[in-house]
């Protein structure tokens, strides 16, 4: 699957999970929902850090070029160790520990995830990779700064995320990685889901990456789903806020 498809799948999965989280006691503010969507979309690109020749290696210039080469070397190449449930668990619990006990480390990961997400959704100028490195870095840095240190507040609105409990962070990263593996399993190449067992699992309903099915079926469905789920999430929050302040 293409980067934008993975990113959309991550965002849709997070927005779809939010109501279930609320049912089990993890109620989320609009700020957390937005932040979680961004993190999950970026994390849905994380398994492709093993693809040193892919466009994602150029997301943050020399940083991601070196990182993808290292990950490809240590994981055995594209669609090996990073495309597995084991990698998902390592990423999930690792990011959970960072977000809870070492915030600066989490901020670095957050910057990386946003940078990957930006490249995944196609924010770049062809044949201008040096400029793209600066552009993606600046945008990712700005979004990271907003997410960790600024506040937008108004009637019924609170998007401040700096002091929120970050119990959702590891879950968002893990879910993003899972969605990447899940969507890649829909292609003929499949994934070694239970790596280090090398058996690949595939249900090839998407016969070709960036082909007709992905472009004209999968991507539109995911885009529509993201919009509908975002509207539902926002409407539910403001309806609950209105009821709370207009009782009796």
- pLDDT for 189 beyond 70: yes
Q: How far apart are the first and last CA of the chain?
A: 52
**What residues contact 22, with CB distance under 8 A and at least 6 apart?**
28
Q: Do the strands 153-154 and 157-158 form a parallel or antiparallel pair, or are they unpaired?
A: antiparallel
Average pLDDT, the chain: 85
In order of 51, 90, 193, 204, the CA distances from 7 in angstroms are 16, 20, 19, 20
In order of 64, 140, 197, the CA distances from 53 in angstroms are 11, 22, 25
b/e string for 75-90 if b means 16 or more Cβ within 10 A? beebbbbbbbbebbee
Residue spans per domain, the chain: 3-237
pTM for this one? 0.87
pLDDT at 242: 55
Residue of 139, 117, 122, 102 lying closest to 36 (CA atoms): 117
Q: Average pLDDT for residues 142-149, to the nearest whole number?
A: 80
Task: Give CA–CA dist 18/179, Å, rounded.
Answer: 15
Comparing 164 with 119, which gets the higher pLDDT?
Answer: 119
Comparing 150 with 144, which gets the higher pLDDT?
Answer: 144
Task: Give the rounded percent of residues in the chain with a pLDDT score beyond 90.
Answer: 51
From the CB of residue 203, how many other CB atoms can be counted at a distance below 10 Å? 11
pLDDT tens per residue across span 49-83: 998 877 788 888 888 889 999 999 999 999 999 99
Cross-strand partners of 191:
201
Give 91's pLDDT tier (boundaries 50, 70, 90): very high
pLDDT at 54: 75
- pLDDT for 243 beyond 70: no
pLDDT at 157: 44
Task: Give CA–CA dist 26/36, Å, rounded.
Answer: 13
Comparing 153 with 88, which gets the higher pLDDT?
Answer: 88
- pLDDT for 162 beyond 80: no
In order of 59, 101, 119, 125, 172, the CA distances from 130 in angstroms are 10, 35, 13, 10, 30
Lowest mean pLDDT among 8-12, 126-130, 198-202: 126-130
φ, ψ for residue 191 (rounded to 5)? -145, 150
């Amino acid at each position: 699957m293409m980067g934008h498809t993975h990113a959309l799948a991550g965002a849709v999965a997070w927005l779809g999970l939010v109501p279930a989280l609320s049912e089990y006691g993890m109620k989320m503010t609009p700020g957390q929902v937005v932040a979680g969507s961004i993190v999950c979309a970026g994390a849905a690109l994380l398994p492709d850090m093993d693809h040193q020749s892919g466009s994602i290696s150029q997301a943050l210039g020399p940083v991601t070029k070196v990182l993808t080469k290292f990950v490809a070397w240590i994981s055995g190449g594209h669609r090996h160790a990073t495309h597995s449930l084991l990698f998902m668990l390592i990423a999930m619990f690792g990011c959970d520990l960072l977000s809870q006990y070492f915030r600066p480390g989490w901020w670095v990961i957050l910057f990386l995830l946003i940078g990957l997400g930006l490249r995944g959704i196609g924010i770049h100028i062809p044949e201008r990779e040096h400029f793209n490195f600066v552009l993606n870095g600046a945008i990712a840095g700005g979004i990271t700064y907003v997410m960790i240190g600024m506040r937008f507040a108004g009637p019924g609105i609170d998007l401040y995320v700096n002091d929120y409990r970050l119990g959702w962070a590891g879950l968002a990263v893990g879910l993003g990685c899972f969605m990447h593996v899940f969507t890649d399993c829909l292609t003929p190449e499949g994934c070694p889901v239970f790596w280090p067992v090398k058996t690949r699992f595939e249900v090839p309903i998407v016969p070709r990456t960036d082909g007709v099915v992905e472009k004209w079926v999968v991507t539109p469905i995911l885009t529509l789903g993201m919009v509908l789920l975002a509207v539902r999430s926002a409407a539910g929050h403001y309806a609950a806020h209105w009821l709370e302040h207009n009782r009796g």
